[in-house]
């Protein structure tokens, strides 16, 4: 009884395959399933059909993988996009010698305990302040000289605040400012702010509290230009005051200038030597990503949309939009937290991380990376 049912099922299956073979339009399959075909012919058609099927699967996977990992192409959307819609960059200017050494005696009186005046601790204080004169992120190796010295006795001093008090004021560093062919008071348009270079002066900035207040009071801030050209930019003359520089620093004199898009924390600076008339040309470019790029993972496309906060690659500074430079700055800050459990507040926005004190500086030197 069981054998009879099996034979009937076998016959039914053969009949269905034969019927399908007569009706199908799949190339080769019809020859395989037709009753009139011999064994050799059927075997050859089967081999050919399987080879074609394997090639179909291979190329389908190849094309799908190529589509998923396709390279992005940059296309020009418009060459006539209005310049006034692109904010003028933030221009940050730093003296290479960040500190006005004329104020050393006043900060001694303000920050050193009376018991430490006219002692070896006062000499150590001056040595540490001199290290801050040309300090920028990634130059922490200079603090290696503090290893083995009695820095714990001066741990009560906030050296970031000392540096801030000695930083050049606007009227000491900048003069003869011209914006869009209009003469302006430099101190009305330049704002002191923190950056990867330390505490500097910035034009068109919204990073400091005073810049954010200016934005609320002036709806045009950050300012823009209507057209391009040298007469529609910023002109400024810097005063180096070499006689007021630290006697312990031998770096070449000059300034560092950094141009970034407003709301970007910092970028690579331009080195301008002493006694040089420099002209910096800017291109007004705006980049947009097509929404179709979202189909590719952030790791593959190597960028993150600002609303992709759940992405493992999303990282930015506190209260800052996601941008590449802000992500990079936050990574640097997390590096300090990871190895020294503190952050150097003069290089980053004020946040929730513990601020490095004097005793933490040798740790920064040990883990310095340039």
For residue 244, tell me if it sits in a domain.
yes
Whether residues 58 and 93 share a domain: the answer is no
Q: State which of 237, 259, 284 marks the end of a domain.
A: 284
Whether residues 90 and 6 share a domain: the answer is no
Report, in angstroms and rounded to the nearest whole number, the Rg of the chain calculated over CA atoms.
34
Whether residues 198 and 64 share a domain: the answer is no
For residue 184, tell me if it sits in a domain.
yes
pLDDT of residue 7: 63
CA distance 30 to 24: 6
pLDDT of residue 62: 84
For residue 299, tell me if it sits in a domain.
no
Report phi then psi at 97, rounded to 5.
Answer: -95, 100
- pLDDT above 90 covers a percentage of the chain that reads 49
Indicate the pLDDT class of residue 170, thresholds 50, 70 and 90: very high
For residue 216, tell me if it sits in a domain.
yes
Task: Decide: 197 and 94 in contact? Cβ < 8 Å.
Answer: yes
**For residues 239-262, average pLDDT:** 92
- pLDDT above 70 covers a percentage of the chain that reads 87
Whether residues 178 and 63 share a domain: the answer is no
Number of domains in the chain: 2
Between residues 72 and 170, the one the model is more confident about: 170
CA distance 237 to 200: 15
How far is C-alpha 174 from the chain's CA centre? 28
Task: Decide: 88 and 224 in contact? Cβ < 8 Å.
Answer: yes
For residue 214, tell me if it sits in a domain.
yes
> Domain limits at 178?
83-98+170-284
For residue 179, tell me if it sits in a domain.
yes
Q: State which of 284, 317, 336 marks the end of a domain.
A: 284
Whether residues 260 and 228 share a domain: the answer is yes
Q: Does the predicted model carry a pTM greater than 0.95?
A: no
For residue 208, tell me if it sits in a domain.
yes
For residue 219, tell me if it sits in a domain.
yes
Whether residues 39 and 90 share a domain: the answer is no
Burial of 202 (0-12, 13-18, 19+ CB in 10 A): buried
Nearest residue to 271 via CA among 282, 256, 281: 256
Whether residues 90 and 54 share a domain: the answer is no
């Amino acid at each position: 009884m069981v054998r009879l049912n099996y034979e009937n099922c076998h016959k039914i299956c053969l009949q269905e395959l034969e019927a399908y073979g007569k009706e199908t339009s799949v190339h080769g399959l019809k020859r395989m399933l037709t009753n009139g075909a011999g064994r050799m012919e059927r075997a050859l058609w089967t081999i050919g059909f399987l080879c074609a099927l394997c090639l179909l699967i291979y190329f389908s996977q190849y094309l799908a993988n190529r589509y998923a990992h396709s390279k992005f192409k940059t296309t020009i959307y418009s060459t006539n996009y209005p310049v006034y819609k692109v904010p003028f960059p933030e221009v940050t200017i730093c003296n290479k010698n960040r500190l006005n050494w004329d104020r050393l005696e006043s900060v001694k009186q303000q920050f050193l305990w009376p018991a430490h005046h006219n002692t070896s601790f006062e000499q150590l204080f001056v040595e540490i302040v001199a290290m801050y004169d040309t300090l920028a992120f990634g130059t922490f190796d200079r603090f290696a000289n503090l290893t083995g010295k009695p820095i714990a006795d001066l741990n009560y001093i906030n050296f970031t605040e000392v540096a801030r008090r000695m930083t050049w004021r606007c009227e000491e560093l900048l003069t003869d400012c011209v914006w869009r062919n209009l003469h302006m008071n430099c101190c009305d348009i330049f704002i002191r702010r923190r950056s990867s270079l330390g505490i500097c002066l910035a034009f068109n900035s919204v990073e400091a509290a005073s810049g954010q207040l200016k934005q609320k009071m002036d709806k045009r801030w950050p300012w823009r230009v209507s057209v391009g050209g040298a007469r529609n930019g910023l002109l400024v003359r810097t005063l180096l005051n070499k006689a007021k520089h630290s006697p312990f620093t031998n770096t070449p004199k000059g300034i560092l200038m950094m141009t970034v898009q407003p709301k970007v924390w910092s970028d690579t600076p331009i080195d301008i030597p002493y006694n040089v008339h420099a002209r910096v040309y800017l291109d007004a470019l705006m980049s947009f990503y097509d929404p179709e790029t979202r189909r590719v993972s952030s790791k593959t496309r190597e960028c993150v949309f600002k609303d992709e906060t759940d992405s493992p690659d999303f990282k930015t500074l506190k209260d800052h939009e996601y941008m590449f430079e802000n992500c990079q700055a936050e990574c640097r800050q997390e590096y300090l937290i990871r190895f020294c459990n503190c952050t150097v507040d003069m290089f980053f926005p004020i946040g929730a991380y513990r601020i490095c004190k004097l005793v933490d500086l040798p740790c920064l030197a040990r883990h310095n990376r340039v």
